[in-house]
Amino acid sequence: MPHRVRRPLLALAAAALFLLCLARPAAAHGFSSTVYAHVTGDGDGPLRTRLKLEYDLLVVSAADTGDDDPLFRAGTDAFDAGDAAAEAAALNSHRETALGYVTRRLSVSAGGKACTPTPAGDFRMGTEEGVPYALLDLDWACGAHGSGDHEVRGTLFPDSEGYVKGTKTIVTYDVGGRSGSAALDSGHPSFSISQAWTQRFWEFFRLGAEHLLTGTDHILFLLALIAGSRRPREVVLAATSFTLAHSVTFLLAALGLVDVPSGLVEPVIALSIAVVAGWHLWRIRGRGTGVAELRSPGEGRFALDRAGWTRLGVVFCFGLVHGLGFAGALGIEAAWTWTLLWSLLVFNVGIEAVQLGIIAVVFPLLLLLSRRSPRSAAWTTGTISACVAAMGLIWFVQRVAGA
């Protein structure tokens, strides 16, 4: 590839990658919210939903008249003071406003007809990952049609507050002998309790796939792994190491067995991006080759030198941290059940499917380029790694400052 063509293309690719990164928020998981709902009932009588809602978003979204709303003033003052008792008092003092918002955005129906909600007690306070959450129980009377197929619909958040990019409602249920879990969002706001296992599979598979596709930091980490792998076996071993590591901490954290604050997880994820990308820049310094050093299929297929094993160890350690980020995105908290484990595994399968798809597209292109022009391959992988490392460092500084 001539220099006059190669360098403008590399500059264009670098600019596109840089703009893509800037288009994403610095905290990839910090601008979404998760609503938790646990639904119980015998299938014929009333249903009960036990809700957990992020407190400050509930206050801001439920306030009918904006900053002058009494709930907004009392709720934000209590939130700023970090006083859980005052937070609960603010919601209960303006109960009609807060309940009205929740029941407009969350509904239960049976046999195609709406059920009537009644609060079962006052608002209470709790925490999820160190964030204040409001707790509320609602009983849903479904009348004569109560034995019909139950459907739950949730459209809570985001609203006019403007800084939440999306909301997931994680529903676990045990109704009339049926138990399971579902994930709702703006594109899929409802589900039927009688849904088939294939529908549950698709919901959590889609959620996992979408999370990786919209998580720019995880994609950049993967690109750094690909760019820094000179042989097919290197990218296979690196991806496998990353997968095993994040699967372990993902399951442990999602099941509540490990709890690490997001204020620590997010900066380390950003730092991992810079370190893995910078590793490749150090390796190609003075070599002039990127993915060019290919051997025949039978020659030392899985043999690694000391640097290769060290890289795998680094990738594995950072994979453990990325798993905590994945778990924070799903945020299921429930008693241990095989159904819950199934949902977590399917979510992870969705992540892996996208990860393998990216590797299957990007790495063969780099291999093809390396065989045609090793020098161009070095320029390409070096440019990718430099841009990724720069963004990782920028995000690290932003997240440390934000924490």
Domain locations in the chain?
A: 3-28+215-402, 33-196
> Which residue shows structure tokens 């306070």?
125
What values do phi and psi take at 166, rounded to 5? 180, 160
pLDDT for res 237: 84
Q: Are 222 and 355 in contact (CB under 8 A)?
A: yes
pTM for this structure?
0.61
Condensed to tens digits (0 to 9), the pLDDT of residues 33-55 reads 889 899 998 867 789 999 999 99
**H or E element, residue 172:** strand 166-175
Question: pLDDT, tens digit, for every residue of 97-133?
Answer: 999 999 999 999 988 889 999 999 999 999 876 789 9
Tell whether the torsion through CA atoms of 353, 243, 247 and 31 is positive or negative: negative
CA-nearest of 167, 181, 212, 150 to 57 is 167
pLDDT digits 0-9 by tens, 222-272: 888 888 777 777 888 888 888 888 888 877 876 777 777 777 888 888 888
Three-class secondary structure of residue 274 per DSSP: helix
What average pLDDT does the segment 83-98 reach? 95
Structure tokens at 59: 């206050």
In the chain, the percentage of residues whose pLDDT exceeds 90 is 19
- Which residues does residue 169 pair with via DSSP β-bridges, in sequence order? 35, 184
Instruction: Return the residue matching tokens 């849904």.
Output: 195
Residue 296 has pLDDT above 60, yes or no: no
What's the CA gap between 209 and 303, in Å, rounded? 32
- Contacts (Cβ under 8 Å, ≥6 apart) of 43: 147, 175, 176, 177, 178
- The whole-number pLDDT of residue 95 equals 94
Which among 384, 228, 378 is positioned nearest to 289, based on CA atoms? 378
Average pLDDT, the chain: 78
| Greater model confidence, 306 or 265 | 265
